[in-house]
Amino acid sequence: MDSIKAKSFQESIQYQYEDISLLETALTHSSYANEHQLKKSQNNERLEFLGDAVLELISSDVLFKTYPDKLEGVLSKTRASLVCESALAYCARKLQLGDYLLLGKGEDMTGGRERDSILSDALEAVIGSIYLDGGLEPARKFIMAFVLNDMKNTRLFYDCKTILQENVQSWSKETLTYELVDTSGPEHNRTFVMQIRLGNQILGKGSGRTKQAAGQNAAYESLIELRSKGLFKGEDEDTCI
């Protein structure tokens, strides 16, 4: 990882590493490590394992203290919605994390920089690297600034298609329709754009490397739009938010 990118990323996350090698490891995918014959410990999988635990601790602590009247099952369901793969990938995209990843050529050519699993794992690896470099408090600050900073909307990523369907059914008899409106890029690295229509009204659009991802992003954007218009009905009482 060159020094310019390292500096740019540290500025974007508002954290300065004492040991920059931890950041480089956090951003090194196994495909890159294998391609360059690095040691197995020189990819981000171990840091992702650690970061996952740190994220679970911090998110649990935040929910436990913020919602003292909620029971364990409700807290667990809410935490799951906040730290699911798609939600973490969304947070990673807002940080443009994919631009900084070290990927193998094949993984890069097939859209790895936008793949939910790669982005979410890398975000957890960054959390793990910050924890090792600076301790729990810097990791907490990062999580609060870039993962739990918009809990009300981020939790909608958890099964957002079902949430959208159930909410629309509560106030409309029209049928939701997912439509593919655009496809671009070479065959090995396509970008799909889906839109969601309710009768004659377009609720939202979303793009992704697969039709499923594009549909999910379109559902999320539709939920945000409905909420902004006061049409998001029937908030789930079994969650905190």
Task: For residue 124, indicate whether it is catalytic.
Answer: yes
Tokens of 2: 């060159």
Active-site pick, 24, 48, 107, 124: 124
CA distance 76 to 4: 40
Task: For residue 2, indicate whether it is catalytic.
Answer: no
In angstroms, the Cα distances linking 227 to 1, 155, 189, 208, 224 are: 41, 13, 33, 23, 5
CA distance 195 to 201: 10
Who's near 198: CB < 8 A, 6+ residues apart? 168, 172, 174, 175, 176, 177
Q: DSSP secondary-structure letter at 28? A: B
Q: DSSP secondary-structure letter at 174? A: S
Active-site pick, 52, 121, 133, 221: 52
> Which residues carry out catalysis?
52, 124
